């Protein structure tokens, strides 16, 4: 007897968006700090490529690995040297396989549910329209 495969159901499952929230292509100036693989503290000023309620993507010169914890401080667009900004802890979810000229592309998830970004996000799954 041949196994029966529901290719349509598999296709829907593969293409399902598994992110916790919608990404928004916003560039926020941030300071990322943490410890590199040698145990040395690093702090870099960079900017986000995109953000969501639960995380962000950015470029980083320092080498971080999946699972590393970094502190991200949201800097003021008007005063990038804002030293009184509150840092939030994020966990590195992924890092690009190769470093490019701008650094490593990194995705990180917030470790707390506090509102961090200065933006209101669209709902993950908009309500279905009546038929």
What CATH number does residue 25 fall under? 2.40.10.220
Looking at residue 76, its pLDDT comes to 76
Looking at residue 4, its pLDDT comes to 64
In the structure encoding, which two tokens stand for residue 20, read together? 């916790």
Q: Beta-carbon neighbour count of residue 68 at 10 Å?
A: 18
126 in a domain, yes or no? no
29 in a domain, yes or no? yes
122 in a domain, yes or no? no
Domain extent, residue 105, equals 19-110
118 in a domain, yes or no? no
125 in a domain, yes or no? no
30 in a domain, yes or no? yes
Nearest alpha-carbon partner for 19 in 129, 127, 122, 128: 122
Contact 47, 27 (CB under 8 A): yes
pLDDT in tens, 104-118: 999 999 999 888 887
Question: Comparing 39-43, 59-63, 92-96, 126-130, which segment has the lowest mean pLDDT?
Answer: 126-130
pLDDT in tens, 68-100: 999 999 987 665 555 557 899 999 999 999 999
pLDDT above 90 for 120: no
pTM, entire model:
0.74
pLDDT above 60 for 11: yes
11 in a domain, yes or no? no
8-state DSSP, 87: E
Helices (H), ranges, the chain:
7-14
The total domain count for the chain is: 1
10 in a domain, yes or no? no
């Amino acid at each position: 007897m041949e196994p029966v495969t529901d290719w349509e159901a598999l296709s829907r499952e593969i293409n399902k968006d598994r992110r916790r929230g919608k990404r928004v292509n916003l560039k926020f100036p941030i300071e990322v700090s943490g410890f590199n693989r040698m145990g040395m503290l690093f702090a870099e000023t960079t900017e986000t490529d995109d953000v969501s309620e639960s995380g962000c993507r950015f470029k980083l010169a320092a080498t971080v690995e999946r699972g590393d914890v970094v502190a991200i401080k949201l800097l003021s667009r008007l005063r990038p040297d804002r030293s009184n900004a509150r840092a939030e802890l994020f966990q590195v979810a992924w890092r690009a396989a190769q470093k490019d000229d701008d650094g490593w592309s990194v995705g990180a998830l917030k470790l707390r549910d506090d509102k961090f970004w200065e933006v209101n996000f669209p709902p993950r799954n908009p309500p279905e329209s009546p038929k």
